[in-house]
Chain A
Amino acid sequence: MAGNGETNGAARGEADSARIGVLALQGDFKEHAEILKKLGVEPVEVRTLEDLTGLAGLIVPGGESTTIGKMMVSSGLLDGVRSFFYKGGPVWGTCAGMVLAASATTGERQPLLGLMNALVERNGFGRQVHSFEADIDVEGFEEPFTGVFIRAPFFEDVGPGVEVLSRIEDRVVAARGENILVTAFHPELTDDVRFHEYFLREVCGL
């Protein structure tokens, strides 16, 4: 059977570059992987528990949070990613990943990772016709960042240990904890790599 390119790459001795996982159960994981490659780190598509071994960080991409959550339960990755995180593994969730990182939702119950002390409002900005792009100010960024918000969530409330990086009015759209970053928007849909650099530098310590 054809193995995946990343594993073969590692076997060929590219051990020098850090390996960053991208959860590849569903969603725009390839877009994240492309940017990671440009930044000189090796992306690893994560579909099974074994794929989590040896990662310097993990991105939970955009997609449908209910679909990704259910597949994380059935594959054992819900507990796997939690244990990766609680051992200090750095995690970044974009959009669906931000929903999954929260400790509770305002709507119906769904599987969550619960990595961050926050209450999330799914599709908080409304249905697709209300999806938008906007230049937002981000803590620590000198220039505004173009956020692409697609049926995006926001944090309605955050608890201790969560640092807010950006808000739209009173809605939290970017935040971080010690080894976690979340964005309600999709830096992977833009050519601006500042958030990927921020994750690698500030959260993964690379």
Chain B
Amino acid sequence: MAENGQHTGTFRVKSGMAQMLKGGVIMDVVNAEQARIAEEAGAVAVMALERVPADIRADGGVARMSDPEMISEIQAAVSIPVMAKARIGHFVEAQVLEALEVDYIDESEVLTPADEAHHIDKAAFEVPFVCGATNLGEALRRIGEGAAMIRSKGEAGTGNVVEAVRHMRAIVGGIRRLGVLDDEELMTEAKNLQAPYELVRWVAENGRLPVVLFTAGGIATPADAALMMQLGADGVFVGSGIFKSGDPARRGQAIVKATTHFKDAKVIADVSRGLGEAMVGREMGDLKEEERLATRGW
């Protein structure tokens, strides 16, 4: 939209917002009290949702967009950006979140998908979107739909970093591979990746995604966060890992510091001392196929 020469909702404004979050930690919160603790711990943004993924897993049933009342309370409680989740393909939930003026929408596999075949047409919105991806092709399809930020999916609510590592390596490795292909090979690779050719070409030329790449799904400790940063993440989403732990305020601060000083093992050691109980983790082999969230979306 253009008003008084001011253009809102441009892709540069949407992706630029994510650039301002780089090197930071975005924390899941379920009420205003937790949002204040997160802000105090140094979070760059909060994700407002009714239940953290670990509880969604435990409770079962259909997980939907949060109550607008709760989102508004969180917006009133903090000055940092507030994000919220819409179900995959549920563009009306996204319209509602845009009307609430959330700062970013996460079209998220953590909620129960509303459409098994289609994701939201994200380019049609003024508010920017972040989407999950398990590999490079999936990341580029979401960007093709207008996502202005990508996060590796991981396996939310498990406290187990193994899937986040797998997905980050798949995305970063995929980017590296494109760099050595010649022009003829790029079209074939676009076919293999099932990704838009122009985006494949852009990534091959620039050696990175055209948007910021965060990590998510299973990060529970400062060392987990630093691991993901060293693997190539621009920043970290922590869901259940903070408020399902023994001392959320301290753990939050520790993960924030480890994310900034991710190459400095002494700092990571220091902030990891006596943090108390991490959230209880789950082994991937114990998850039934239908319990896996990362396979939602395509």
Contact = CB atoms under 8 A, between A and B. Distances in A.
Interface of A: 1-2, 4, 24-31, 47, 62-64, 66-67, 70-71, 74, 95-96, 107-108, 122-123, 126-135, 148-151, 186, 189
B12 A148 contact: yes
Given A47-B260, A63-B22, A148-B16, A133 B10 contact: yes
Interface residues of B, number: 39
Interface stretch (B42-50, B60-68, B169-177): B42-50
Interface in B94-130: 98, 101-104, 126-128
Interface stretch (B1-9, B187-195, B197-205): B1-9
B23 interface: yes
B79 interface: yes
A71 B42 contact: yes
Contacts of B263: 1-2, 4
B24 A67 contact: yes
A155 B241 CA distance: 38
B278 interface: no
B12 A135 contact: no
A135 to B, nearest CB: 6
A149 B9 CA distance: 11
Contact of A128 (B6, B23, B127, B265): B127
B143 interface: no
A150 B39 contact: no
Contacts of A134: 4-7
6 contacts: A64-B44, A67-B42, A67-B43, A127-B81, A134-B4, A150-B16
A26 B17 contact: no
Interface string B254-276: 00110011010100000000000
Contacts of A24: 23, 260
Contacts of B5: 134-135
B9 A151 contact: no
A150 B8 contact: no
A201 to B, nearest CB: 26
Nearest to A25: B260
